[in-house]
Structure 1
């Protein structure tokens, strides 16, 4: 009969070391999983659970975190009702993609909501938000586009703080990039002004807002990325907004960019002359 031999001192030490390493690896994996769950929960709370809609206007959005680090970052989208019955939509990008950027993003997003509830002009909303952010003495800044939509007239008032231009297309074949005059990013310079552009949506189509993580990266410059989005929106101006948002977000996968990315789609069904 073969007798089992007790492990020697070297074998026992090896087994003990392997046991410690296994426990440390398990502890590290559990900690990483907990951090990811916390980041995902925080990001969910930072972004709206739903976007407002009215008859003839449907909305959709997508967000993707940076490809490294925690699943959290400084990009955002938002949509909310205004006291007088209008709708406001914003999209923006805070410098950086970490917990600090996410916290600053939350301050910017809530600040815009608070100011927009009492200030009607989008340019004044951005100007006031810029002053508030500067008073906080943060080292971060944020780009942003803010739209105010009037359901009764189908008018859109928009202002831009150093953000990516808006892409649009109509079902009758019109399309383009709205590079309206804008101001500096929020939190950079006191007294910055933000011109307002006014339009009326009178032809069925889509208005698409993105952050630079969607259209810019090592693979190609922002101009190329925007043209890719234009082609997608042009081909799907009358499509379901969720499907269009998902297709636009795919552009981010080809940029080679490791930044956060966000897409906001406003799909409208009003008849008449084109958005321009």
Structure 2
């Protein structure tokens, strides 16, 4: 005797139909989100520089990586270019937000900094002018940033900070510490903000490493803990005289310990001692 399954009730059929519709909507939503994330990541990578300027006695390198979960993309950047007076300008920063709008805003800031640096060479003035420019366009977003100016004649590094996380400086003898320089508010918040400039004479060989908070902060990792980890990595690398490219790769690995819920960027300048530098030559981009 063959048993027959009892017919489904109308309510069961309705439930299955509803679940099917919800599953289809969820799939469509996931596909739209994936497309949005892919677009944000493409914008990010297309707007980052393909090369960085360098000089005899100065190596530069950088890394960028999106968040591990693929959702928080679009705000971090790094840049390097030759300024009007022949010095080298470098910037790194992080835009509030993680989406296509943040990626587009990042591109505007990067271009704005370059434009301002055509008329100003002092890092504090560059940030101040860029800040006033961003405030004037009345966007809801803001950005943290560190701007460096490397003088190839004096072998001096000048830096200014707009609410950004500290960088790390190390010398070839293994001394290493975070660059807890004074700074001002993030860009795009208040007009007329002042950004103090810190000046360092590079009398000893070593490395300067700039990064974004995605490298040193995560859900269970406070900034102080992540920064201490990166400081140890940079100190060991400087003592071992690793290349700028290897240093950037090692520092980026620190993001794995944070949970990597944010995108992350690293910018490295590895320099010889001022006394050992070669005769200044035109910088190469």
Instruction: Report the TM range for the smaller structure's normalisation.
Output: 0.7 to 0.9
Deviations, residues 102-137 of structure 1 (Å, cap 9, x unaligned): 011111111001001111211111111111101111
Which segment is superposed worse, 29-38 or 220-229? 29-38
Whether 1:191 and 2:192 are equivalent positions in the alignment is yes
**Structure 1 residues without counterparts, runs of 5 or longer:** 1-23
Whether 1:256 and 2:275 are equivalent positions in the alignment is no
Structure 1 segment 168-207 matched on structure 2, within 5 A? 168-207=169-208
State the aligned residue count: 255
For normalisation by structure 2, the TM-score amounts to 0.82
The CA distance in 1 between the partners of 2:183 and 2:26, in whole Å, is: 51
Higher relative contact order (CA 8 A, sep 6+): 2
The CA distance in 2 between the partners of 1:201 and 1:255, in whole Å, is: 32
Residues 155 and 199, structure 1, Cα contact 8 Å, conserved in 2? yes
Which segment is superposed worse, 68-77 or 210-219? 68-77
Which segment is superposed worse, 40-49 or 87-96? 40-49
Structure 1 segment 115-264 matched on structure 2, within 5 A? 115-237=116-238, 238-264=241-267
* Closer, same or farther: CA 28–195 of 1 in aligned 2, 3 Å: closer
Q: CA deviation at 1:228?
A: 0.4
Q: CA deviation at 1:269?
A: 1.4
- 2:48 aligned partner: 47
Deviations, residues 220-260 of structure 1 (Å, cap 9, x unaligned): 21111111011001100121111111111111111124111
**Structure 2 residues without counterparts, runs of 5 or longer:** 1-24, 277-285
The CA distance in 2 between the partners of 1:69 and 1:214, in whole Å, is: 15
* Closer, same or farther: CA 33–74 of 1 in aligned 2, 3 Å: closer
RMSD (CA atoms):
2.6
* Closer, same or farther: CA 151–137 of 1 in aligned 2, 3 Å: same
The CA distance in 2 between the partners of 1:184 and 1:27, in whole Å, is: 40
